[in-house]
Amino acid sequence: MAERSGGRLIVEALEANGVERIYSVPGESYLAVLDALHDSPIRNIVCRQEGGAAMMADCEGRLTGKPGICFVTRGPGATNAAHGLHIARQDSNPMILFVGQNARHVREREGFQEMDYRAFFGSVAKWVVEIDNAARIPELVTRAFAVASSGRPGPVVVALPEDMLTEIVDAPAAQPFTPVETAPDPAAMARLGDMLRDARRPFVILGGSRWSAGSVAAFGEAAGRWKLPVGVEFRRQMLFDHAHPSYVGDIGIGPNPALAKRLKDADLVLLVGGRFGEVPSSDYTLMDSPYPKQTLVHVHPDPEELGRVYRPDLAINASAHAFALAFAQLNAPGAPVWADDTAALRAARDKWATPPETSPGDVAMGPIIRHLAETLGEDAIVCNGAGNYATWVHRFYPFRRFATQAAPTNGSMGYGTPAAVAAKAMFPGAT
């Protein structure tokens, strides 16, 4: 126990949880935190608009799997940041938004820029907490990291009353949060193996978060042995190497008709990590909700998502990372009956993903995308927002590695530039 200010305790809790950088728009409501950051190794990337700062934090969570950290001031700062918070929610990315708050003695009077953050963010954030006692900062900040990262990752909002941050209190040193890895049940994995061996037209859909470079590689190796056709959800192309013979395309806005038909005709669908919501499912026409025609195996780290949109025949409560490693241990059949089907889907995908030489207007986008594909290295990180221009990237650009795509599945415009700034800060050696 030692006496420190609330602002110092916030920074110490961030350091204890491995934070290397934060994204902020400074404001008078959390000056004590800014003072404490002066002597901290944490880098403060100062932004000009809170929506952009929150998007940067989302990008960090998206590419690293660790909560991205954003600091904004109260009222208008918080409402601007809501844009990035909604992205983190719909994209299942871990993020913590620290928001300044009025001093405790003026609360409930609608003071200057006062807001009820629990009411405002309650339907978007996984958890909203206001720290009224500085001595509880180590406990509550570490809990925020755990909530943001566990189950289905998402955003957490932590409100900081201004006078609480200047309060001097005795408090223990912050301890880092304990990551929770949800591993698949061996019996469920054995049943999955039997279901796949009995299938005639299986199809795999990859999506969601809580992947890693290792689990992406492990699943790719296993899919090759099983010769399974593998598609990826909308804006999740980095989850499977596009040069892999099992890759058959992305399932998003305007999917390849051959791919859509094959998914509809599948007798077994293995959905890993994602929710297969309105956009990738083409308004729930590729798989009926709540009762799919296909036999469905759904793998998700949050048990509340299993059965929420689709009733699965087999539900596996596991993170995508843990599932991929377990799936790699299953014995594949020597000559699966669907092998030729996978090869045909791959050929259809290659034709669908060949950029056209011409397009309407003075700018020919096809040759531009082909040039980028031929010029950029496999570790190049592609960042974009939303709009028709993004279709060219998602249909024609070949993604080869994990953590090379930063694009919002919630369709948010304006994401590309702040995401690129954050990506360069995280990976300065990458393009």
CATH assignment at residue 414: 3.40.50.1220
Place of tokens 């999740």: 236
Average of per-residue pLDDT values in the chain: 95
**Predicted TM-score (pTM) above 0.75:** yes
Number of alpha helices (DSSP H) and beta strands (DSSP E) in the chain: 15, 16
pLDDT band at 313 (very low <50, low <70, confident <90, very high): very high
Is residue 407 in some structural domain? yes
Alpha-carbon distances of 421 from 52, 65, 70, 82, 385, rounded to whole Å: 10, 18, 14, 19, 13
Residues paired with residue 71 on neighbouring β-strands, in sequence order: 24, 98
Domains in the chain, number? 2
- Shared domain for 157 and 195, answered yes or no, is no
On the question of pLDDT at 1 being above 80, the answer is no
Identify the domain boundary among 171, 196, 217. 171
- Shared domain for 157 and 215, answered yes or no, is no
Is residue 179 in some structural domain? no
- Shared domain for 164 and 209, answered yes or no, is no
- Shared domain for 159 and 239, answered yes or no, is no
Is residue 82 in some structural domain? yes
Residue 341 burial by CB count (10 A; 0-12/13-18/19+): exposed, middle or buried? Answer: buried
The pairing of strands 268-272 and 382-383 is: unpaired
- Shared domain for 161 and 211, answered yes or no, is no
pLDDT band at 200 (very low <50, low <70, confident <90, very high): very high
Is residue 270 in some structural domain? yes
- Shared domain for 161 and 192, answered yes or no, is no
- Shared domain for 216 and 354, answered yes or no, is yes
pLDDT average, residue stretch 161-187: 95
Is 156 in a helix, a strand, or coil? strand
> What pLDDT is stored for residue 114 in this prediction?
77
Of 231-235, 359-363, 369-373, 399-403, where does mean pLDDT reach its minimum? 359-363
Is residue 58 in some structural domain? yes
Cα 409 to Cα 281: distance, rounded to the nearest angstrom: 13
- Shared domain for 165 and 264, answered yes or no, is no
C-beta neighbour count of 387 within 10 angstroms: 11
- Shared domain for 38 and 134, answered yes or no, is yes
Cα 119 to Cα 111: distance, rounded to the nearest angstrom: 17
Residues paired with residue 2 on neighbouring β-strands, in sequence order: 171
- The boundaries of the domain holding residue 71 are 2-171
Cα 35 to Cα 58: distance, rounded to the nearest angstrom: 25
Cα 12 to Cα 15: distance, rounded to the nearest angstrom: 5
> What pLDDT is stored for residue 105 in this prediction?
79
Residue % of the chain over a pLDDT of 70: 100
- Shared domain for 131 and 219, answered yes or no, is no
pLDDT, tens only, 61-99? 999 999 999 999 999 999 999 999 999 999 999 999 999
Task: Name, in order, each residue with C-beta under 8 angstroms of 360's C-beta and a sequence gap of 6 or more.
Answer: none
Alpha-carbon distances of 129 from 9, 123, 126, rounded to whole Å: 16, 13, 10
> What pLDDT is stored for residue 111 in this prediction?
74
Identify the domain boundary among 171, 196, 216. 171
Calculate helix-pair angle for 416-426, 50-64, nearest 10 degrees. 50
Is residue 180 in some structural domain? no
Cα 328 to Cα 311: distance, rounded to the nearest angstrom: 25
Place of tokens 């209190």: 169
pLDDT, tens only, 11-40? 999 999 999 999 999 999 999 999 999 999
CA angle 173, 127, 157 (to 5 degrees): 70
pLDDT, tens only, 84-140? 999 999 999 999 999 999 777 787 777 767 789 999 899 999 999 999 999 999 999
Is residue 303 in some structural domain? yes
Identify the domain boundary among 138, 171, 204. 171
Q: Phi/psi at 286 (nearest 5 deg)?
A: -80, -30
Is residue 218 in some structural domain? yes
